[in-house]
Amino acid sequence: MRVLGIDPGLRNLGWGVIDVDGSRLSHVANGTLHSVGDEMPARLLSLFQQLGAILIQYAPHTAAVEQTFVNKDGAGTLKLGQARGIAVLAPAQYGIEVGEYAPNKVKKTVVGVGHASKDQIAHMVKMQLPGAVLTGPDAADALAIAICHAHHFTSRARIAKALA
């Protein structure tokens, strides 16, 4: 199974692709998309098109996106929500199921604690994906989201199979 993890952002949208074979995870690719343009519609369109190209190139079976957290800046939260909408819409356009995870759940799954730092996340991603060269913190977060989804998706599949 191939998993695309997406760390939504309006300026920088991190993405990471992993392959899952049972409990074995392997790194495929990662990177950061940068929005282009001055106006919001142009920036969102550029992210949508770039993410579409990633979906076509790597053909994931499933995707996962980090849920938006609400911070003190309401306008910033709304802008992040729009980027998150792109991150959910692009895979859905290709018929790909999208999982959504709270930031603390991703950190707890990958690092073991819900309030891990970016450095801790990057370190654990490298440990779980030997040989992966991280292109930046947003890409590391996206790979962590993919790892989280791989663990929870396969667990849900095993439970459903056992109940059937």
What are 66-97's pLDDT values in tens digits? 987 666 777 878 888 899 999 999 999 999 99
Task: Provide the annotated active-site residues.
Answer: 7, 66, 138
Distance CA 143, CA 122 (A): 9
User: Residues annotated in the binding site, as ranges?
Assistant: 7, 66, 138
What is the pLDDT of the chain when averaged over all its residues? 91
Q: Kindly state the percentage of the chain with pLDDT values over 90.
A: 80
List pLDDT tens digits, range 2-33: 999 999 999 999 999 999 998 899 999 999 99
Residue 160 has pLDDT above 60, yes or no: no
Could you read off the pLDDT of 51-70 as tens digits, one per residue? 999 999 999 999 999 987 66
What is the predicted pLDDT for the residue at 47? 97
pLDDT for the residue numbered 156 = 60
**What pLDDT score does 68 carry?**
76
**What fold characterizes domain 2-163?**
Nucleotidyltransferase; domain 5 (3.30.420)
Residue 70 pLDDT: 63
Joined together, the tokens standing for residue 145 give 């989201």
Query: Which residue ranges make up the annotated binding site for Mg(2+)?
Result: 7, 66, 138
Task: Give buried/exposed letters for 63-82 (b at 16+ CB in 10 A, else e).
Answer: bbbbebeeeeeeeeeebbeb
Q: What is the pLDDT of residue 49?
A: 97
| Tokens 């993405």, residue located | 15
Burial class of residue 158 in the structure, from the number of CB atoms within 10 Å of its CB (0-12 exposed, 13-18 middle, 19+ buried): exposed
**Partners of 21 in beta bridges:** 24
**Mean pLDDT in residue range 129-145:** 96
What is the edge-to-edge ordering of all strands in the sheet holding 12-21? 24-34, 12-21, 2-7, 62-66, 97-101
Prediction pTM value? 0.91
As a whole-number percent, the residues of the chain with pLDDT over 70 amount to 91
Lowest mean per-residue pLDDT among 50-64, 123-137, 141-155: 141-155
